[in-house]
Structure 1
Amino acid sequence: MTSHVEKLVQQLDGEAVASYDARAELIWIGSEAIPAVIDGLPALSGFGQLTAIEVFEDVGDPRCGPALIGLLESGNPTVREWAALALASLEIDGAIEPVRRAYRACLERQTPPDWTEPGGIRWALTELGARTPVVPPLTARLRATAADDAPGWSSTRFAEIINDLADHAQVILYSQLWRVDADRTYGISGTGLDWELDWTAPWEHMVEESRTWSLLEASEAPADDNIFVAPTWIDRVDLYPER
């Protein structure tokens, strides 16, 4: 069994079909395969490591925790992000400080906060209980009036949410629109506006700039009872965690 599992781990780096098949079999084997996946992790490419992370998450064996923490220092940003997400979803003990360090490293590399890696790590910190997003009263109240399974807020209240967030010194990074039909929920195209914030500007300037752009998006976005908007925003402490 050991040599077979080791071969499967090596195949995680293979072509898509071979990698998928190896991943599925390792998940089927379960916890018995985890030590071999951990041992083989350093020899895998970024693609293989990402697939190994999927194995860790599906099997749910906490022994993968130290290996995932090690991947937070990978040279591959997607590997770092997926490792943080897995640490949070698996609720690995001792993950908070390493994930915090990974987030600070993102900021030190001057990775824009609206890129996927810092966004994923912020989600992980939130899930681990180490980050509490600021949700102003009106935004919270409007969210509470939506259905439990609604993917955000009613698009008819888009502008109100944007102003509430900005009034409470939150920087809106972007917004995703969702359509909810009777049998499915799916993302829909936004307004097509392409905007970037100047991350060297004072915080108050970024708040107002993000308000201006987001309100323009709101004015052009479709508004309907079955369309929902999910803004993503950050607080000052997310950009200046040491202050």
Structure 2
Amino acid sequence: MTTHIARLIQQLDDSTGPSYDARAELIYIGSDAIPAIIDGLPSLDRFGQLTAIEVFEEVADPRCGPALIALLGSDDSTVREWAAMALASLKIDGAVEPVRHAYRACLERATPPDWSEPEGIRWALTELSARSPVVPPLTARLRATAADDALGWRSARFAEIINDLADHAQVILYSQFWRVDADRTYGVPGPGLDWELDWTAPWEHLVEESRAWSLLEAFEAPVGDNIFVAPTWIDRTDLHPER
């Protein structure tokens, strides 16, 4: 079995097909495979490490915690992001400070806050109860629950949400739209406005710039009783977290 598991771990790097079968078999083997995967992580390339993270999440064995924490120091941004999110989804003890450190390192690299890595790490910190998103009263009151317990807001109220967030000094990064039919949720194309913020600008400027662009989106957004919008926003403290 040990030799077989080692062979499966080597296959995790092969994105042409074998990796997917190896992933499924390692998940089926379960906890018995975890120590060998941990030992084999340093020999895997980016694709293999990402696949190993998926195995860790599916098997949910807490022994993978130290290995995931080590991956927060990877040279690859996606590996760092996935490792942080896995630590959060598995509720690994002792993960909060390493994930906080990973987020500070992300900011020190001047990674734009709306890129995937910082967004994923913020999600992880929120799941670990180490970050509390600011949700103004009106925004909280207007929140509706769509299908599959996905939280969103009816798109008809989008402009109100935008102004409420901006009035409370929140910067909207982007928004996604969803259609709910027969308790199923489907992605809906938004207005597709291509806008970027200058993260060197003062926070107050960022707030108003994101308000202006988001209101343009609201003007062109799809509207209907079954159309929901899910904006993503950050607070000033997300750019200057406590040390």
TM-score by length of 2: 0.97
C-alpha displacement of 1:181: 1.0
Match of 1:129 in 2: 129
Q: CA RMSD in A?
A: 1.2
Separation (CA, whole Å) in 2 of partners of 1:209 and 1:90: 37
Match of 1:201 in 2: 201
Moved more, 7-16 or 121-130: 7-16
Separation (CA, whole Å) in 2 of partners of 1:68 and 1:214: 36
Match of 2:114 in 1: 114
Moved more, 13-22 or 73-82: 13-22
Equivalent residues in 2 for 1:9-28, closer than 5 Å: 9-28=9-28
Match of 1:65 in 2: 65
Equivalent residues in 2 for 1:49-88, closer than 5 Å: 49-88=49-88
Separation (CA, whole Å) in 2 of partners of 1:66 and 1:80: 13
Is the alpha carbon distance of 1:187 and 1:147 closer, same or farther for their aligned partners in structure 2, counting shifts above 3 Å?
closer
* AA matched with 2:132: T
Is the alpha carbon distance of 1:170 and 1:60 closer, same or farther for their aligned partners in structure 2, counting shifts above 3 Å?
same
Paired residue secondary structure (1:74) = coil
Separation (CA, whole Å) in 1 of partners of 2:240 and 2:38: 34
Separation (CA, whole Å) in 2 of partners of 1:194 and 1:151: 25
TM-score by length of 1: 0.97
Q: Say if 2:146 and 2:228, in contact at 8 Å, map to a contact too.
A: no
Can you give the 5+ residue segments of structure 2 that lack an aligned partner in the other structure?
Answer: none
Match of 1:179 in 2: 179
Equivalent residues in 2 for 1:23-34, closer than 5 Å: 23-34=23-34
C-alpha displacement of 1:182: 1.4
Separation (CA, whole Å) in 1 of partners of 2:223 and 2:146: 17
C-alpha displacement of 1:19: 0.2
Separation (CA, whole Å) in 2 of partners of 1:146 and 1:96: 29
Paired residue secondary structure (2:17) = helix
2:114 equivalent to 1:93: no
Separation (CA, whole Å) in 2 of partners of 1:49 and 1:96: 21
Separation (CA, whole Å) in 2 of partners of 1:241 and 1:131: 9
Paired residue secondary structure (2:222) = coil
C-alpha displacement of 1:186: 1.1
Q: Say if 2:146 and 2:180, in contact at 8 Å, map to a contact too.
A: no
Separation (CA, whole Å) in 1 of partners of 2:99 and 2:137: 29
Separation (CA, whole Å) in 2 of partners of 1:68 and 1:21: 22
C-alpha displacement of 1:32: 0.3
2:40 equivalent to 1:40: yes
Can you give the 5+ residue segments of structure 1 that lack an aligned partner in the other structure?
Answer: none
Residue-pair matches, total: 242
Match of 2:212 in 1: 212
C-alpha displacement of 1:183: 5.0
* AA matched with 1:160: E
Match of 1:222 in 2: 222
Paired residue secondary structure (1:153) = strand
Q: Say if 1:68 and 1:86, in contact at 8 Å, map to a contact too.
A: yes
Paired residue secondary structure (1:27) = helix
Moved over 6 A (4+): none
Match of 2:157 in 1: 157
